[in-house]
Chains A and B, each alone.
Chain A
Amino acid sequence: DAGVTQSPTHLIKTRGQHVTLRCSPISGHKSVSWYQQVLGQGPQFIFQYYEKEERGRGNFPDRFSARQFPNYSSELNVNALLLGDSALYLCASSFGFNEQYFGPGTRLTVT
Chain B
Amino acid sequence: AQSVTQLDSHVSVSEGTPVLLRCNYSSSYSPSLFWYVQHPNKGLQLLLKYTSAATLVKGINGFEAEFKKSETSFHLTKPSAHMSDAAEYFCVVSDTQGGSEKLVFGKGTKLTVNP
25-77 of chain B: CB within 8 A of chain A: 34, 36, 42-46, 49
Q: Is the CB of A56 within 8 A of B100?
A: yes
Quick one: given A97-B96, A99-B34, are A45 and B102 in contact (CB under 8 Å)? Answer: yes
Q: Is the CB of A56 within 8 A of B90?
A: no
Is A42 at the interface (CB under 8 A from chain B)?
yes
Is A105 at the interface (CB under 8 A from chain B)?
yes
User: Which residues of the other chain, B, contact A15 by a CB distance below 8 angstroms?
Assistant: none
Quick one: given A42-B90, A55-B99, are A101 and B106 in contact (CB under 8 Å)? Answer: no
Closest to A104 in B: B43
**CA distance in complex: A104, B43 (Å):** 4
Q: Is the CB of A97 within 8 A of B107?
A: no
**CA distance in complex: A45, B104 (Å):** 7
Closest to A97 in B: B101
User: Which residues of the other chain, B, contact A4 by a CB distance below 8 angstroms?
Assistant: 43
Interface size on B, residues (CB 8 A): 21
- Interface 1/0s, chain A 80-111, versus B by CB < 8 A? 00000000001010100101111111000000
- Interface 1/0s, chain B 75-115, versus A by CB < 8 A? 00000000000000010000010111111111110000000
Q: Is the CB of B44 within 8 A of A102?
A: yes
Is A33 at the interface (CB under 8 A from chain B)?
yes
Q: Is the CB of B43 within 8 A of A55?
A: no
Chain A interface residues toward B at CB < 8 A: 4, 31, 33, 35, 41-45, 48, 50, 55-56, 58, 90, 92, 94, 97, 99-105
Told that A44-B105, A48-B102, A97-B96 touch, could you supply 10 new A-B pairs with CB distance under 8 A? A31-B101, A33-B102, A41-B108, A56-B98, A94-B101, A99-B34, A99-B46, A100-B101, A102-B36, A102-B43
A-B contacts, 13 of them at CB < 8 A, read: A33-B101, A33-B103, A43-B44, A45-B104, A48-B100, A48-B102, A55-B101, A58-B102, A99-B49, A100-B46, A100-B103, A102-B44, A104-B43
